[in-house]
Each structure stands twice: as structure tokens, then as C-alpha cells.
């Protein structure tokens, strides 16, 4: 089983993050999680999951929500630059930023590691590990597009939160699953979250 970092930043799209986390835990993987303050607010607004208080309280709430123990799920505060994921020596297979705000995207594109998520992304790139970014914004300015290109040229996989309709989604969850499935595909992990083209 693998070890993955999942970061949630302050953009709409929190259900994508929860679905990716659920599938990683269900698949038996170890997951490190960090969430910005804005990300926690949007997570509550969009999913009802309330994460507040010190890191230990957030850890417990995530364990309950995702049905995972500390051996499988570890939460780090965005200000904890001493966290495992801030070092290239930590054996982490890949990192996913879902959803990725334009603020976080800009910081990652320019090596501005002012918090744990930005530092972990910087480490992921410098160690030439897989970094998957799920940007959530519309419309996109030329600045946003340049930042995405910069990250793509540095080796990141950019998977915009753009659900497809060829599989005839019947619910919002079907659309969430489509994006979460594409993220898992990019991680090289088997999943059946949405039908494959032609199947």
C-alpha cells in the first residue's frame, strides 16, 4: 500500500477532497492530510463536516468521518512546518491538492512555501514525486493559466475540476466521483468510481 499527502485549500470543491480521502482509506493506504483555515470553512459549508479546534480535535473528527485510525490517517496543521510531509526524507509516494485555490496554485508555481501545504508541494516537486493539482476556479485569467503551465512544466499533473457528461451522471455524487476517479487514475490506483469510455 502507498503513502499519500492530501491537501485541501480554500476553493469550492470540498466534496472532491472527501471522496479522494475515502477511496484512499478504503484502499488501505496511509494518508497525511493538511487543510487551510479557508479549506476547513468551505469543507463545512459544502459537506457539513466541521473541523475546528486544535490539531488533536481535527484529527479525531477526521478519523470519525473517514472511519480511519491514526495508523492510516494523520492530520497536520497548515502552520506545522515541522510535520513529516515538510521533508523530502519522508517516504511519500505522491501528493494531491484538491481543491486547489488560485492562491495556493500561485504559491506552488513560484516556490513560495509559506505554509505546510506549499512546502509539501515544493518538496514533492524537488524530489520528483507525483504532484496532482485539482484547480477550482472559473473563469481563468491569463495569470491562472500561466501558473498552471509553470506547474505542469515542473512535473505536476493538472486535473481541473471539469466533470464530463458522456457517462450520463444522475447526481452530483456521480460528477464528484468522475473527478475523484481521474485523480486516482493519475495516482495509478485502480478504482471504479465512474464508467470508462466505451464500456
CATH number attached to the domain at 3-186? 3.40.50.1950
Whole-number Å distance between alpha carbons of 76 and 86? 10
How far is residue 22's CA from residue 30's CA, in Å, rounded to a whole number? 12
pLDDT in tens, 85-100: 999 999 999 999 999 9
- Please state, for a pLDDT cut of 90, what percent of the chain lies above it: 92
Tell me if 7 sits within 8 A of 95, measured CB to CB. Answer: yes
Q: How far apart are CA 91 and CA 89, in angstroms?
A: 6
Asked if the model's pLDDT at residue 1 lies above 90, the reply is: no
By three-state DSSP, how is residue 118 classified?
Answer: helix
Q: Where are the domains of the chain?
A: 3-186
Please give the model's pTM, rounded to 2 decimal places.
0.96
* Residue-wise pLDDT tens digits, 32-75: 999 999 999 999 999 999 999 999 999 999 999 999 988 899 99
Confidence of residue 199 (pLDDT cuts 50, 70, 90): low
Amino acid at each position: 500500500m502507498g503513502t499519500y499527502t492530501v491537501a485541501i485549500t480554500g476553493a469550492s470543491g470540498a466534496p472532491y477532497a472527501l471522496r479522494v480521502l475515502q477511496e484512499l482509506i478504503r484502499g488501505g493506504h496511509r494518508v497525511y492530510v493538511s487543510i487551510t483555515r479557508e479549506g476547513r470553512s468551505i469543507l463545512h459549508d459544502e459537506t457539513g463536516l466541521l473541523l475546528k479546534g486544535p490539531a488533536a480535535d481535527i484529527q479525531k473528527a477526521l478519523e470519525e468521518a473517514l472511519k480511519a485510525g491514526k495508523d492510516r490517517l494523520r492530520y497536520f496543521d497548515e502552520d506545522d512546518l515541522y510535520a513529516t510531509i515538510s521533508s523530502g526524507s519522508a517516504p511519500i509516494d505522491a501528493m494531491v491538492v484538491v481543491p486547489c485555490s488560485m492562491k495556493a496554485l500561485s504559491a506552488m508555481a513560484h516556490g513560495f512555501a509559506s505554509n505546510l501545504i506549499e512546502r509539501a508541494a515544493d518538496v514533492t516537486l524537488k524530489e520528483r514525486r507525483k504532484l496532482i493539482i485539482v484547480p477550482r476556479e472559473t473563469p481563468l485569467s491569463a495569470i491562472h493559466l500561466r501558473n498552471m503551465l509553470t506547474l505542469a512544466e515542473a512535473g505536476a499533473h493538472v486535473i481541473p475540476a471539469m466533470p464530463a457528461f458522456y457517462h450520463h451522471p444522475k447526481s452530483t455524487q456521480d460528477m464528484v466521483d468522475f473527478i475523484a476517479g481521474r485523480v486516482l487514475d493519475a495516482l495509478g490506483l485502480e478504482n471504479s468510481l465512474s464508467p470508462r469510455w466505451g464500456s
